[in-house]
Amino acid sequence: MHKKNNAIRVVASLALAVSTAALAAPQSDPAQFNEFWTPGMPNPALCRSPLLVSSPLGLPRCMEVGNVMNHLEALQDIASLNDGNRASGTPGYQSSVDYVRTQLEQAGYQVTIQPFPFLAFYPKGPGTLAAVAPQAEQYVWEEDFSYPEQTDPGSVTAPVVAVDLQLGLGNTSTSGCEAEDFAGFPAGSIALMQRGACTFEQKAENAAAAGAVGAIIFNQGDTEDRTGLMVATLGSTYEGGIPVLFATYDNGVTWSQTEGLQLAMTVDVIREQTETYNVLAETRRGDPDNVVMVGAHLDSVFEGPGINDNASGSAAVLEMALLMRKARPFNKVRFAWWGAEESGLVGSTYYVDSLTEQEQGRIKAYLNADMIGSPNYANFIYDGDGSDFGLQGPPGSGAIERLLRAYFDVRGEASEGTEIDFRSDYAQFFEVGIPFGGLFTGAEGIKTVEQAQLYGGAAGQPYDPCYHQACDDLTNLSTEALELHADALAFATSWLSLSTQMIDDEIAEAEQQNQQSLRMLSVPQERSRWGDLIR
């Protein structure tokens, strides 16, 4: 057995050397490497052996898009049986957790189900809003008004009282931001407030403290683009206890100018403290002090099954884990399926914060897969070195970006950087200084003409036209994007499982630069001379 393991390590090292040579010559003909990643079926026996799945060329070869699609079909079936979604805290999410756990345990993994608390918020049904005096009028859900996230539920009918409004273009509204705004406010009324100056949470809590039984916050109207509905939130710390609606500026103006206005409003949501789960597993082999982590969020939004967002990433990570069950990595690989990402990155944040500083230090890299099958896709790679958007990831992140970019180059595929915007599960890894990277094929953003020329698809249209909607189902996928990005994820994971030298080198260089800066700052005359440049 010892000789067999050594032989496998030799083969893996040779494969790493071949991969290195390929990446060092990005101008070479991509066709010469096609046998390592074309979507045709490989020999199944090879993919069941440790040899192929222990190398950065072999693992992508075994990452068949058909197998990834099998997982996506299972997750779609789960959503279909559970009110059309797999949102955290719902039966659909629990069934998704059970599916991933069963697949992993059948492959021989020891699986950790990590519970964590979170504040669940889901619309049960559309809201209602109607004027009952001075004359009856019905308002249209999601045209005239909508729910701000984290509102409390409730149904009230009451007079409407405007609170310190300032109307018109160029206004500087502070409506509802101060307790003094509610001087003389009649308890038992609905507070009508305007966006501006402070958080929606502060406005609603001030209204509740003044005796309001409900609140409506309308858009500010200070500019032409701040008049319609928006995705507003009260925040998870909201403690007002009253139902709140968000409305258009035009409706707010009309209501504020209507004498004797009484409105009936219903907010039909679930908002409750509960718990949900992360799923974690890791390879049996590999250095536990040098961990490569790869993760994807398993939950969907309440509005739909979330097949692209983010069953696509979850299915790719799951298929890779199943393939690597017999791999012989030099570094331990840890797989994660995060809960409650759609509620504010809750699961991944909880996981990172639950680690000791020493445990965090053992994670050499985190790879994130969030939306890798967008139907109108682009090939986005997180801008780890900050060269595209100015914000640099922790030292080592640039090396991960270069590794992923080189893979796309060798395959003859275009790619580009995407901004580190902290909208996905890498955020807390970034915050504690763990190098990260990852892949993304686009959400609600609009594809440019230049991108359409690079990747195909439709310019002027969203990368994912069903983002956070009920239509994010099995028809909302590009299998070409899914195959390419699943392969890229497998390549980078396998490479780093064999060597994190490129990350180590970048970290060492950053530490050396920091030490040089500290030495200059410690000498008074040098600080005086070079201070402006150092800042």
Annotated catalytic residues are: 341
3-state SS of 86-153? CCCCCHHHHHHHHHHHHHHHHCCCCCEEEEEEEEEEEECCCCEEEEEECCCEECCECCCEECCECCCC
Q: Output the DSSP codes for 281-322.
A: EE-SSSEEEEEEEEEEE----TTS--IIIIIHHHHHHHHHHH
Question: In which order are the strands placed within the sheet that holds 128-133?
Answer: 137-138, 128-133, 262-267, 154-162, 190-194, 214-218, 244-247, 145-146
Tokens 């967002």 appear where?
A: 309
Q: Output the DSSP codes for 265-276.
A: EEE-EEEEEEEE
Tokens of 280: 């974690």
Q: Helix, strand, or coil here: 73?
A: helix
CB 290 within 8 A of CB 500: yes
Region of residue 4 (left: phi > 0; alpha: psi -120 to 50; beta: else):
alpha
Residue type, 83: D
CB 437 within 8 A of CB 53: no
- Exposure class string for 444-454: b at 16+ Cβ within 10 A, else e: eeebeeebbeb
State the maximum Cα–Cα separation within the chain, in Å, rounded to a whole number: 88
What letter would DSSP give residue 368? E
Q: Distance between CA atoms of 407 and 379, rounded to whole angstroms?
A: 12
Q: Nearest Cα to 279, choosing from 324, 325, 353, 337?
A: 337
CB 123 within 8 A of CB 206: no
Q: Distance between CA atoms of 373 and 485, rounded to whole angstroms?
A: 8
Q: Distance between CA atoms of 229 and 216, rounded to whole angstroms?
A: 12
Residue type, 237: T
Enumerate the β-bridge partners of residue 308. Answer: none
All residues at 6 or more sequence positions from 159 whose CB lies less than 8 Å from its CB, including other chains: 186, 188, 189, 190, 260, 261, 262
Q: Distance between CA atoms of 475 and 466, rounded to whole angstroms?
A: 10
Strands 380-382 and 436-440: antiparallel
Inter-CA distances, 90 with 80, 96, 299, 321, 325, Å: 13, 10, 10, 25, 30
- The values of phi and psi at residue 499, to 5°, are -160, 130
Q: Distance between CA atoms of 328 and 7, rounded to whole angstroms?
A: 10
